[in-house]
Amino acid sequence: MRTDRRGFMKKSLALGAFSLWPGIFHGWSAQRSDMLMSLNPGAIGVQVTHQELVAYALKHGFRAITPLPELSRLSALEQRQVKEEMETQMLHWDAMGLPVEFRKTNAQFRKELHQLHVYADMLRNIGARAMTTWIMPMHDELTYQQNFDQHVERLREVARVLAASGLSLGLEYVGPLSLMSSAKYPFISNLAELIALIQAMEEPNVGVQLDAFHWYCAEETADDLLALSPKDIITVDVNDAIASRSVLEQVDGERELPGASGVIDLSLFLNTLAQIGYSGPVRAEPFNAQLNSLDNETAMNQTAEAMLKAMALING
């Protein structure tokens, strides 16, 4: 069923332009042609303040960082000062996680959507450009079409709030079969299906958050990535799969730092993105229990080492 639906979506999208929309994403660093090695502390189990995050990034050679929600507590003037400090340090912003739970009750969604403008205004003031979130690949109660319609309705509202502050929304598909098959109804689990959702939303500020692990688990190839253009991609996550498991046995919350196992062809993944001209953030997202248990300094050292090796694969 999964393969058939994926094939159907890819054939359908091939009839039209697969590239999403002209000019919706202005790029993270228009004057640069190379990708930005980015630091997302939450993905490696590190809890830091913004100033600590900046210090770690500068120490380890990262060129972008994830905006932390704590910055929303600053005044508008203080937020603009953060923007100036980032520019002085020649650091760029990656995307912030979307602080809205759109997958559960309508009441919770409405409450958090109402508060979204606080974070959107903060991102605008500090000079950031986007928020991102993931799509769960299954549901216990909603059929594929019902879930699709609910995602279109709710995420369209999110996109419009972000657009009012000049922000983009990045959506991520989740690829592991083990997660998709854990509930009654399967849902979006590959790039083609995600693009169909984005096109149905008809909001020009929505793009893709790419993840190497999900690309691998969805059994996609370079051709899937070549169908995108740089403006379609909001941010990129890199990691590695568990060597002792087949692609069908991979578990979403159990991964490795990029290059740790060599299961995922990161050279192909990153060089294909370079081929289409992507020059935005690339960050480690291993979701690894052992890494999470380390102290901040050790976790940062290991992450920086893995990311430097991964970035060296580009055009290598």
Which single residue is written with the structure tokens 């690309």?
A: 215
Domain 2-6+28-241+249-312: which CATH class? Answer: alpha beta
pLDDT tens digits, one per residue of 15-46: 333 344 433 333 333 333 489 999 999 999 99
Which residue, 255, 284, 291, is CA-closest to 175? 255
Q: Is the pLDDT of residue 58 over 80?
A: yes
pLDDT > 90 fraction of the chain, expressed in percent and rounded: 89
pLDDT at 261: 98
pLDDT at 34: 86
Which residue, 35, 37, 40, 38, is CA-closest to 291? 40
Q: Is the pLDDT of residue 120 over 60?
A: yes
Q: Is the pLDDT of residue 226 over 70?
A: yes
* Residues paired with residue 132 on neighbouring β-strands, in sequence order: 97, 170
Residue 55 binned pLDDT confidence (cut-offs 50, 70, 90): very high
Single-letter residue type at 8: F
- Residues, the chain: 316
pLDDT at 316: 61
pLDDT at 315: 87
pLDDT at 7: 41
